[in-house]
Structure 1
Amino acid sequence: MVISLWQGAAICGVSWLLWKYFRQLVVMSSLDNVPGPPSRSFLYGNLKQLLDRRDGWSFLRYLTDSYPGVVKLNGPLGRRMLYVFDPTAMHNIIVKDQYVFEESEFFIKSNRLFFGPGLLGTLGEHHRRQRKLLNPAFSIAHMRRMIPIFNVVGHKLVEAIEGRVRDKSAAVELDMLSWMGRTALELIGQAGLGYSFDPLVDDTPADQVGHAIKAFQPTITDIHFLRRLLPYVTDFGTPVLRRKLLELVPNPAVQKMKDIVDTIWRQSEEIYESKKRALEQGDEAVAQQIGEGKDLMSILLQANMNAAEEDRLPEEELLGQMSTFIFAAMDTTSNALSMTLFLLAQHPEVQEKLRQEILEAAKGEDLGYDTLVSLPYLDAVCRETLRLHAPVAQVFRDTREDAVLPLSQPVRGLDGKMMHEILVPKDTVVVVGLLSSNQNKQIWGEDALEWKPERWLSPLPESVTEAKIPGVYSNLMTFLGGGRACIGFKFSQLEMKVVLCLLLSKFTFELSSKPIFWNFSGIRYPSVGDASNVNAKPSLPMRVGLYKRGST
């Protein structure tokens, strides 16, 4: 009798697995009529092309140029996927039906493992409740208060670089990715957490958090496919058991990722305990901390204490927010700043024009909030960089139920008929092409692949404004949109502008003789060498010299 029960359970379990993961092999789908590239293999489909560190850029370029906003891709084991950059379809995915097109399960569960139950690791109402408490901390009023902190950190960076290039007869080669990463970490440390990670004095940071975060993207690229198994193992057994099993995995990248996560989490716990003690001791203790209680985390902890009981976040979620802040605010902003300096070095005439705008506005003083946000050429350079070289190229969504995606323009199906909408079955993986939207020639024009800051100094083409792109920032998908838009996009923009103003007022930037390759990853990053350099360490060597006023 017991054997029969076990046999029945086994048959039911195997049948469920076969139905859930292999039914697409035998069941016809509405997606079968959507044009798309052939599968590369049954095991991976097109997924390896979509995630390839070296060739991912060319595959995205092919999808963007060859298909009108929606593409059927082949997923692993014969599953169907949908790649979308049609603006109307994107609006439905990230705004109108965002709870139908939720973050992919592997993304949520892996981020919960990496950073705890912060914004990147929660869904639905849980996520909405967290954002409700966090939103006031990112208001314009609080952003204004961040400027003095940004300037303090920025001047430390200037002093550090000046000490390395002063009295040199020629420009000095410096790894600007490292300096931008350290600066971004110190900015989120002081302005976001009320904590100093790095005094920006030594050639290499003593704090291990910076090293851990910069190693995150290369390491996660090495475990892309293992990461997709996480939804099936995170609920297995107790946390202690899962930890023991993780330590037994004979994969160096997995063990390195474990060390990275441990480092970030330990630091979050240390900062949290310090801030909690200060809040318990009263206003005087808070005022003595870095940021004087004006940092985002102090504001959040105070808001959490004052919130109604049902709206308060538990300690584990507050720690999760801190880990999320540390990671999300460092890697994306530092890489965007590095890309901006790289482009300015490639276009010295743009660099000089931007420098003169900054110098004329500053007149030897630090720029205030109102001036920073009103400099037209600085804004144009930042927008154009974030358009053409968005740090995050794509995001994944899972359909929680059958859904209909309307299209801005009809697509000709494989049967020859025009489709004005597409039925997307439940459990379909949908990839939202953020970079494809930003680079779509049908919307941005034939020069969409050119870096042209001047395009933002006059009215955008009607094709852009009429497209109604659902991004939260400037007709771009760089910071997403809807209920999962980047909550810190204003913080990031201000960081970039303050750092660029201080650097360009003092230094010139040129390309080094070393070739640079920008790696395709969850967040793009540069390394020395070409695409064949598999074990490339993130770095961006550039030649930096002191700017001599009056020179051109």
Structure 2
Amino acid sequence: MTGLLVQAFVLGGAAWLFWKLLRPYVVRSTLDNLPGPSSQSFLYGNLKQIYNKQGWDFHRSLGDLYGPVSKLHGKLGQKILYVFDPVAMHHIAVKEQYIYDEADWFLRMNNYTLGPGLVATTGEQHRRQRKMLNPAFNINHMRDMAPIFYEVAHRLRQALKIQIGERPGEIDLSQWMGRTAIELIGQAGLGHSFDPLVEERSDTLGEALKSFVPSLYAFSDYLQFLSIIDAVVPRLVRNVGAAWLPHKPFQKLRGLVMTMHKEAIAIYNDKKAVLQSGDEAFKSQVAQGKDLMSLMLKANMSANKHDRLSEEELIAQIATFTIAAVDTTSSALSLILHLLSQHPDVQDKVREEIISASDGKDIDYDDLVSLPYLDAVCRETLRVYPMAPFRFRETREDIVLPLSEPVRGRDGSMLSQIPLPKNTTVFVGVISANTNKAIWGPDGHEWKPERWLSPLPETVTESKIPGVYSNLMTFWGGGRACIGFKFSQLEMKVVLATLLSTFKFELSDKPIYWNLAGIIYPTAALGGKTSMPLRVTLLKRESE
């Protein structure tokens, strides 16, 4: 009897896999009538082009060559809709966001590595978590964050002074931006200090956080196969096999995940113990109880039973907060400093604005966020180079996707909507949406901060891009928009204001490459480790 069950299971799995492989070639859809690049291989389709670390030109060409709607090829002959039409993006990100849900492989990946936090959940569970977290990111709380950010930025400034001394020196700024980003989210997010910056000190969780994203995206070619692996391989076999799999990169990632989870539990238990001791105990902590985790725990205790999050969900938010904040902020700061080094005239102008507003002191919250040229530099950088460029969605049911303007199919017919079967993969072209020449003009691909200093063209303001930030899709839109985008903006501006009023940044003799990944990152050599060497000079006007 057992043998028959095993045989039936194997045959059933084989039949399911055979149908998955055959279906794209048997079942025709509107996607087959859309233009797009040819498939490079049956196994990967266009995935290797999509995930090519130097594939910026490929991503930009999708919009330029094929327009706002096209077809890409995924794994095993899968059809993928590539889209950046504004009306379509509104339906995907806002109106029908839980029909166009996060890709199944993405949710599985985040749940396996970070736990059931904000980026690993969907539906009602995601709505409950979002509702609990939203108050911690309001404007009043951001004002409370500014002094915490400045304290970390001052330590970074002192550390850089120590490293370069009195002479200009070459410094790997990506390393320092990474350390700073971890300390910023540590203090403001968790009430925990990871890195004093002015001295070397190891932190188990901090070290794991630094290594997590590069280790995870070493598997980028395989992540979209997670659903198939889970469907074919029983959970018990997966759990046992994970511990014994003789694959060093996988075991490294597994070790990082175990370390992050263990340390997250320790931080959660400490926070819970302090909370039970009363408000005075909280005030004695790092960030004096104003950190995001403390606020979330307080809110969770006072919430009604239906809205309250489980301990597992709360612990998962610790790793989620830190991973979501560290590499995005680190890369954004590194990229801005690199661009300012390439454009010294822009660097001089933004420095002059900062020094004029500071009068030798920290610029307060309202004045800092209102500095027009600094804001223009930040907006333009995040427009041309979105930190997280890959946005996949999957349809949870059959649905029709409307378009703002008809597009011409391969057969010459005009298509004003795209019928999408259940389980269709949709790739929203964030890079194309942000640089669309029809909206931003013929220089849409170019980095020009000045464009933000005048009223934006009507093509931009009337485009109805559904993003939460500056007519851009950088931070997404709707209920899955980046909850911490204002937090990130303030971090960046505090650090930039502190550094640019103290140092001058110039290119070194080493080339710098920006690599596409789940979160973009710089290297000083193709295929190398994260690195961004710049020449740093202490300004003569600095009197401290």
> Do these two structures clear the TM 0.5 threshold for a shared fold by scoring above it?
yes
Aligned: 1:284 with 2:280:
yes
CA apart distance, 1:5: 6.6
Q: What SS is found at the alignment partner of 1:310? A: coil
Residue 229 of structure 1 is matched in structure 2 by: 225
1:22-75, Cα deviation, whole Å (9 max, x unpaired):
312111111111111111111111111111123x21210221211111110111
CA apart distance, 1:228: 2.6
Residue 140 of structure 1 is matched in structure 2 by: 139
Given the superposition, is the C-alpha separation of residues 161 and 402 from structure 1 closer, same or farther in structure 2, using an over 3 Å criterion? same
CA distance in 2, matches of 1:421, 1:496: 40
Residue 411 of structure 1 is matched in structure 2 by: 407
Given the superposition, is the C-alpha separation of residues 436 and 2 from structure 1 closer, same or farther in structure 2, using an over 3 Å criterion? same
Given the superposition, is the C-alpha separation of residues 238 and 18 from structure 1 closer, same or farther in structure 2, using an over 3 Å criterion? closer
1:70-103, Cα deviation, whole Å (9 max, x unpaired):
1101111111111111111111111111111100
Size of the aligned set, in residue pairs, is 542
Residue 461 of structure 2 is matched in structure 1 by: 465
Equivalent in 530, 537, 540 of residue 545 of structure 1: 537
Aligned: 1:394 with 2:390:
yes
CA apart distance, 1:250: 2.5
CA apart distance, 1:205: 5.2
CA distance in 1, matches of 2:323, 2:102: 19
Instruction: Give runs of aligned pairs for residues 214-363 of structure 1, distance below 5 A.
Output: 214-233=210-229, 242-363=238-359
CA distance in 1, matches of 2:61, 2:430: 15
Which deviates the most, 308-317 or 255-264? 255-264
Residue 129 of structure 2 is matched in structure 1 by: 130
Instruction: Give runs of aligned pairs for residues 417-496 of structure 1, distance below 5 A.
Output: 417-496=413-492
Q: What SS is found at the alignment partner of 1:119? A: coil
CA distance in 2, matches of 1:210, 1:447: 40
CA contact (8 A) 1:392 1:522 kept: yes
Q: What SS is found at the alignment partner of 1:62? A: helix
TM-score where L is the length of structure 2: 0.96
Given the superposition, is the C-alpha separation of residues 35 and 515 from structure 1 closer, same or farther in structure 2, using an over 3 Å criterion? same
CA distance in 1, matches of 2:292, 2:486: 13
Q: What SS is found at the alignment partner of 2:222? A: helix
Q: What SS is found at the alignment partner of 1:549? A: coil
Q: What SS is found at the alignment partner of 2:401? A: strand
1:314-373, Cα deviation, whole Å (9 max, x unpaired):
111001111001111110011000000000011111111101101111101111111011
CA distance in 2, matches of 1:88, 1:205: 50
Q: What SS is found at the alignment partner of 1:199? A: coil
Which deviates the most, 264-273 or 404-413? 264-273
Residue 27 of structure 1 is matched in structure 2 by: 27
Q: What SS is found at the alignment partner of 1:48? A: helix
Given the superposition, is the C-alpha separation of residues 23 and 368 from structure 1 closer, same or farther in structure 2, using an over 3 Å criterion? same
Q: What SS is found at the alignment partner of 1:513? A: coil
CA apart distance, 1:230: 2.8
CA apart distance, 1:21: 4.4
Residue 75 of structure 2 is matched in structure 1 by: 76
Q: What SS is found at the alignment partner of 2:101? A: strand
CA distance in 2, matches of 1:289, 1:334: 25
CA distance in 2, matches of 1:299, 1:307: 12
CA apart distance, 1:11: 4.5
Q: What SS is found at the alignment partner of 1:510? A: strand
Q: What SS is found at the alignment partner of 1:120? A: coil
CA distance in 1, matches of 2:297, 2:542: 49
CA distance in 1, matches of 2:475, 2:64: 22
CA apart distance, 1:248: 1.9
Residue 195 of structure 1 is matched in structure 2 by: 192
CA distance in 2, matches of 1:189, 1:4: 55
Equivalent in 356, 368, 374 of residue 370 of structure 2: 374
Given the superposition, is the C-alpha separation of residues 415 and 290 from structure 1 closer, same or farther in structure 2, using an over 3 Å criterion? same
CA distance in 2, matches of 1:206, 1:214: 12
Q: Which amino acid aligns with 2:164?
A: V
Given the superposition, is the C-alpha separation of residues 319 and 179 from structure 1 closer, same or farther in structure 2, using an over 3 Å criterion? same
CA apart distance, 1:17: 3.3
CA distance in 1, matches of 2:21, 2:422: 12
Residue 177 of structure 2 is matched in structure 1 by: 180
Residue 524 of structure 1 is matched in structure 2 by: 520
Q: What SS is found at the alignment partner of 1:309? A: coil
CA contact (8 A) 2:132 2:300 kept: yes
CA apart distance, 1:20: 3.9
Q: Give 5+ residue unaligned stretches, structure 1.
A: none
CA contact (8 A) 1:109 1:234 kept: no
CA distance in 2, matches of 1:262, 1:514: 37
TM-score where L is the length of structure 1: 0.95
Given the superposition, is the C-alpha separation of residues 388 and 5 from structure 1 closer, same or farther in structure 2, using an over 3 Å criterion? closer
Instruction: Give runs of aligned pairs for residues 19-98 of structure 1, distance below 5 A.
Output: 19-54=19-54, 56-98=55-97
CA distance in 2, matches of 1:13, 1:286: 54
CA contact (8 A) 1:115 1:261 kept: yes
CA distance in 1, matches of 2:254, 2:3: 40
Root mean square deviation, CA, Å: 1.9
CA distance in 2, matches of 1:378, 1:196: 28
